[in-house]
Amino acid sequence: MSERPRRIAVLSVHTSPLAQPGTGDAGGMNVYVLQTALELARRNVEVEIFTRATSSADEPVVQAAPGVLVRNVVAGPFEGLDKHDLPTQLCPFSAEVLRQEARQLPGYYDLIHSHYWLSGQVGVLARDRWRVPQVHTAHTLAAVKNAYLAEGDSPEPAAREVGEKQLTMEADRLIANTSDEARQLAAYYGADPDRIDVVLPGADLTRYRPGDRAAARAEFGLAADEQIVAFVGRIQPLKAPDVLVRAAAEVLYAQPDRRLRVLIVGGPSGSGLERPHALMDLAAELGIADRVTFLPPQPPQRLVQVYRAADLVAVPSYNESFGLVAIEAQAAGTPVLAAHVGGLGTAVRDNRTGLLVDGHGTGDWAAALRSLLDDPDRLRAMRAAAAEHAAGFSWAHTADGLLDSYGRALAGYRRADSRATGTVSAESQARSRALWRRRAG
Ligand code: UDP
Q: State pLDDT tens for residues 77-120.
A: 998 888 888 999 999 999 999 999 999 999 999 999 999 999 99
| pLDDT, position 415 | 63
Q: What share of the chain is helix, strand, coil (3-state, %, to 5)?
A: 50, 15, 35
Check if 32 has its Cβ closer than 6 Å to any atom of ligand 1: no
Check if 303 has its Cβ closer than 6 Å to any atom of ligand 1: yes
Residue 22 Cα to ligand 1 middle (Å): 5
Residue 356 Cα to ligand 1 middle (Å): 19
Which of 14, 16, 31, 231 is the pocket-test mutation for ligand 1 (most atoms within 8 Å of CB)? 31
**Residue 439: DSSP 8-state:** H
Residue 21 Cα to ligand 1 middle (Å): 6
Residue 108 Cα to ligand 1 middle (Å): 33
Residue 346 Cα to ligand 1 middle (Å): 17
Residue whose C-alpha is closest to residue 70's, from 39, 44, 48: 48
φ, ψ dihedrals at 21, nearest 5°: -75, 160
Check if 297 has its Cβ closer than 6 Å to any atom of ligand 1: yes
Question: Any bridge partners for residue 228, and if so which?
Answer: 261
**For residue 359, with 0-12 CB atoms within 10 Å meaning exposed, 13-18 middle and 19 or more buried, which class applies?**
exposed
| pLDDT < 50 positions in the chain | 272-273, 418, 441
Cα–Cα distances in Å, from 110 out to 48, 188, 403? 11, 30, 12
| pLDDT, position 418 | 45
| pLDDT, position 420 | 53
Residue 153 Cα to ligand 1 middle (Å): 20
Q: Ligand 1 atom closest to Cα of 315? A: 20
Alpha helices in 265-355 (DSSP H): 276-285, 300-309, 324-331, 344-347
**Cα diameter, the chain:** 74
Residue whose C-alpha is closest to residue 332's, from 389, 279, 378: 389
Check if 201 has its Cβ closer than 6 Å to any atom of ligand 1: no
Check if 28 has its Cβ closer than 6 Å to any atom of ligand 1: yes
Helix, strand or coil, per DSSP, at residue 133: coil
Task: Count CB-CB contacts under 10 A for residue 292.
Answer: 22
Check if 31 has its Cβ closer than 6 Å to any atom of ligand 1: yes
The 3 state secondary structure assigned to 9-31 is EEECCCCCCCCCCCECCECHHHH
Check if 322 has its Cβ closer than 6 Å to any atom of ligand 1: yes
| pLDDT, position 156 | 92
Angle, helix 421-440 to helix 158-170, in steps of 10 degrees? 130
Bridge pairing between strands 354-357 and 336-339: parallel
Distance between CA atoms of residues 208 and 414, nearest Å = 40
- Chain-centroid distance, C-alpha 429: 32
**Residue 294: DSSP 8-state:** E
Query: Considering just the CA atoms, what is the radius of gyration of the chain in Å?
Result: 22
Q: Over the stretch 351-383, which tens digit does the pLDDT of each residue have?
A: 999 999 999 999 999 999 999 999 999 999 999
Check if 233 has its Cβ closer than 6 Å to any atom of ligand 1: yes
Residue 208 Cα to ligand 1 middle (Å): 13
Check if 306 has its Cβ closer than 6 Å to any atom of ligand 1: no
| pLDDT, position 440 | 56
Residue nearest to atom 5 of ligand 1 (CA): 22
What ipTM was reported for this prediction?
Answer: 0.99
Q: Over the stretch 132-172, which tens digit does the pLDDT of each residue have?
A: 999 999 999 999 989 988 877 889 999 999 999 999 999 99
Q: Ligand 1 atom closest to Cα of 306? A: 8
Distance between CA atoms of residues 270 and 156, nearest Å = 11
Distance between CA atoms of residues 402 and 396, nearest Å = 10
Over pLDDT 70: what percentage of the chain?
Answer: 95
Q: Is 158 left (phi over 0), alpha (psi -120 to 50) or beta?
A: alpha
What's the pTM?
0.94
Check if 24 has its Cβ closer than 6 Å to any atom of ligand 1: no
Check if 276 has its Cβ closer than 6 Å to any atom of ligand 1: no
Q: Ligand 1 atom closest to Cα of 32? A: 15
| pLDDT, position 221 | 97
Bridge pairing between strands 68-73 and 61-65: antiparallel
Residue 257 Cα to ligand 1 middle (Å): 32
